[in-house]
């Protein structure tokens, strides 16, 4: 437990992605089996310890500490695991740190009352940092800023293999994953588990953006694309998934290989086929069209889904590609062949839960350019270009596929608040809340915040922004600074974003998708920044769901 709790502690306090990977690699190299395998299961959220939940932990603590003192402490600390770990009375002389595997193996075989007794006994023995790690481990939901994906990246780095290789076998492994570590240590062959309905590493596309856009070093000029050798289809704003149904097992994976089947039983039920397809998970609106992304968001990240939710927001897959059919691996076929197979497949499946992503006719680059910026539905992010001769290959190869997003929306907004960033950026103010003008209650114009951006600028620009913040601070609330922002003085930011939705949760009633700073308008007077009405005109025409209209 000691090494595990040290690892969690450092991970939660480290902002840098690379340092997190480095910390995990070190841990996996230095920790023996089976402890490291259990840790892996905890980090990737695959360990489910039944019985002991947050409520039990709180009760255990309140049996030992005055509930009033507990309440005051919890109010101050704000996190249950942290409060309990600190407030738990030490039993002097009881300190012995149990090994990770003892803790987990005992808990997995325990009933609920037994589990609670075990946890209480360990809490007596441990010091606060290990108590905290123990509570996080048994109650789940670490929230330490490490995704399953990042953990796999660390494993790959440890073994000198590609993350895709790990994803491929992931679902056939079970904690404590000894065969996986034996392979990564170089002591054994790669495990070849007999996985039913496995995940196949996904093929991704580079963005196609013109050279003058600086944010992507791989950007290339669309003029270099020969439209005659490419197919084009719409890129929908949902979740890229792989739906696999083989030998009686059905699974829905995200593009990083996370299994999200349990969240979409309605789609799973419709997967009455023997194949693996690649597509976009979407919600069908009552009018039959695709619903906005936030409708899909309502169904994500839920452990269980109710019938009501499924009826109100029915999910479906819009199929892009087919990888396996009837046991035959199609990935080495050219896209032209796979597309034919896909069309027949979708027709034969005959379910309204699975439909075909339509192709966009390719006449010329200009026609594509026009289509890209005027898609038939607001839930389309742009175009996907796929070479007719492209095989389906894992990763993000350069050349065969391109995504060509519609141009972002742009708005000129005024910086209102700034907050310090994290990690490398922790000494700079790098999170900016910006607003646009609207008429206030008193009839005077006022700024209303419409979003927050923390990227889009170069390091040099970040320094200039930080300087502006420091020199124009008018107020401070904790880590947040309010800056001068009025009609006479204020900094205008040209903000780019991908889409706009109504949101009663935001003061302005609007929520932006992927806002970022496109340009700093040092030259533009703040009074000339955009107004809220301009943004409202950018909203998609009549909302499909009554609930998303302004509150």
Partner 1 sequence: MAGKTCGQILYGQAMIRPDLLLHPTPKGLYCPPGDFYIDPVRGSVDRAVVTHGHADHARSGHGAVLATPETLAIMDARYGEDFTANRQPIEYGETVEINGVTVWMSPAGHVLGSAQVVVEWKGLRMVCTGDYKRRRDPTCRQFEPVPDTHVFISEATFGLPVFKHPDTDGEIRKLLDSVALFPDRTHLVGVYALGKAQRVIKLLREAGYNETLYIHGALEKLCQLYEDHGVALGPLETATLDTKERGAQERFRGKIVLGPPSSFHDKWGRRFPDPLPCFASGWMSVRQRAKQSGVELPLIISDHADWDELTDTVREVNPEELWITHGREDALVRWAELEGRKARPLRLVGYEDESID
Binding site for partner 1 (CB under 8 A): 9-10, 12-15, 65-66, 68-69, 72-73, 76-79, 82-83, 86-87, 90, 127-128, 132, 420, 422, 426-428, 478-479
Q: Which is nearer to partner 1, 5 or 433 (CB)?
A: 5
CA dist., res. 31 & res. 28, Å (int): 6
Tokens of 301: 């990240």
d(CA 92, CA 88): 12
Residues 6+ apart with CB under 8 A from 539: 500, 501, 502, 510
Query: Toward partner 1, which CB reaches closer, 240 or 422?
Result: 422
| Nearer to partner 1 (CB atom), residue 86 or residue 482 | 86
Complex with partner 1: residue 9 or 274, whichever CB lies closer: 9
The CA distance from 96 to 103, in Å, is: 12
User: What size, in residues, is the chain?
Assistant: 551
Smallest separation (angstroms) from partner 1 to the CB of 148: 21
The least distance separating partner 1 from the CB of residue 77, rounded to whole angstroms, comes to 6
Taking alpha carbons only, the member of 107, 170, 99 closest to residue 139 is 107
CB of 479 to partner 1, least distance (A): 7
Pick the closer one to partner 1 by CB: 256 or 464.
Answer: 464
The helix (run of H) or strand (run of E) holding residue 383 is strand 380-387
| Cβ proximity to partner 1, 129 vs 207, nearer residue | 129
d(C-alpha 115, C-alpha 106), whole Å: 8
Shortest Cβ 184–partner 1 spacing (Å): 22
Closest CB to partner 1 among residues 12, 106: 12
Question: Closest separation between CB of residue 419 and partner 1, Å?
Answer: 10
Q: Are 11 and 144 in contact (CB under 8 A)?
A: yes
461 Cβ partners below 8 Å, 6+ apart? 517, 520
Strand partners, 511: 501
In the complex, least distance from residue 125 CB atom to partner 1, rounded to whole angstroms: 15
Contact 208, 242 (CB under 8 A): no
CB-based burial of residue 306 (10 Å sphere; 0-12 exposed, 13-18 middle, 19+ buried)? exposed
CB-nearer residue toward partner 1: 33 or 82: 82
The least CB distance from residue 117 to partner 1, in Å, is 23
Residue of 47, 30, 25, 260 lying closest to 174 (CA atoms): 47
- Taking the complex as a whole, how short is the minimal distance between the CB of residue 23 and partner 1, in angstroms? 9
């Amino acid at each position: 437990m000691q090494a595990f709790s040290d690892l969690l502690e450092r991970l939660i306090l480290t902002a840098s992605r690379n340092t997190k990977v480095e910390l995990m690699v070190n841990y996996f190299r230095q920790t023996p089996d089976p402890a490291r395998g259990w840790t892996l299961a905890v980090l990737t959220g695959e360990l489910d310890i039944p019985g002991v939940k947050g409520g039990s932990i709180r009760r255990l603590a309140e049996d030992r500490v005055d509930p009033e003192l507990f309440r005051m402490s919890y109010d101050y600390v704000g996190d249950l695991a942290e409060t309990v770990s600190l407030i738990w009375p030490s039993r002097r002389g009881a300190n012995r740190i149990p090994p990770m595997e003892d803790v987990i193996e005992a808990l997995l075989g325990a009933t609920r009352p037994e589990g609670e007794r075990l946890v209480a006994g360990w809490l007596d023995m441990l010091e606060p940092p290990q108590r905290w790690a123990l509570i996080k481990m048994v109650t789940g939901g670490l929230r330490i800023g490490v995704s399953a994906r990042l953990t796999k990246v660390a494993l790959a780095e440890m073994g000198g293999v590609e993350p895709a290789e790990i994803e491929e076998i992931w679902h056939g492994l079970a904690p404590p994953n000894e065969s996986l570590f034996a392979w990564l240590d170089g002591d054994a062959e790669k495990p070849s588990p007999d996985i039913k309905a496995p995940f196949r590493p996904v093929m991704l596309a580079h963005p196609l953006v013109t050279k003058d856009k600086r944010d992507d070093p791989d950007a290339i000029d669309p003029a270099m694309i020969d439209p005659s050798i490419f197919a084009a289809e719409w890129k929908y704003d949902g979740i890229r998934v792989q739906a696999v149904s083989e030998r009686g097992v059905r699974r829905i994976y995200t593009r990083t290989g996370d299994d999200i089947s349990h969240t979409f039983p309605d789609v799973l039920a419709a997967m009455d086929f023997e194949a693996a397809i690649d597509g976009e998970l979407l919600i069908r609106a009552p009018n039959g069209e695709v619903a906005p992304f936030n409708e899909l968001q309502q169904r994500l990240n839920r452990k269980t889904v109710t019938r009501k939710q499924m009826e109100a927001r029915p999910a479906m897959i819009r199929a892009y590609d087919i990888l396996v059919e009837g046991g035959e691996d199609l990935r080495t076929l050219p896209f032209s062949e796979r597309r034919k197979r896909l069309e027949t497949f979708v027709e034969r499946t005959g379910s309204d839960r699975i439909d075909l992503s339509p192709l966009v006719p390719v006449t010329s680059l200009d026609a594509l350019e026009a289509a890209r910026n005027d898609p038939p539905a607001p839930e389309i992010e742009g175009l996907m270009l796929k070479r007719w001769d492209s095989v389906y290959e894992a990763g993000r190869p350069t050349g065969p596929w391109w995504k060509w997003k519609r141009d972002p929306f742009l708005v000129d907004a005024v910086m209102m608040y700034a907050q310090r960033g994290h990690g490398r950026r922790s000494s700079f103010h790098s999170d900016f809340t910006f607003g646009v003008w609207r008429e206030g209650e008193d009839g005077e114009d006022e700024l209303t915040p419409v979003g927050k951006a923390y990227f889009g600028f170069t390091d040099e620009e970040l320094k200039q922004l930080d300087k502006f913040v420091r020199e124009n601070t008018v107020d401070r609330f904790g880590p947040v600074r309010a800056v001068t922002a009025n009609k006479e003085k204020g900094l205008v930011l040209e903000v780019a974003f991908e889409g706009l939705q109504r949101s009663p949760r935001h003061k302005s009633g609007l929520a932006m998708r992927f806002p970022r700073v496109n340009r700093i308008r040092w030259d533009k007077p703040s009074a000339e920044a955009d107004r809220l009405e301009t943004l409202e005109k950018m909203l998609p025409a009549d909302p499909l769901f009554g609930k998303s209209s302004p509150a």
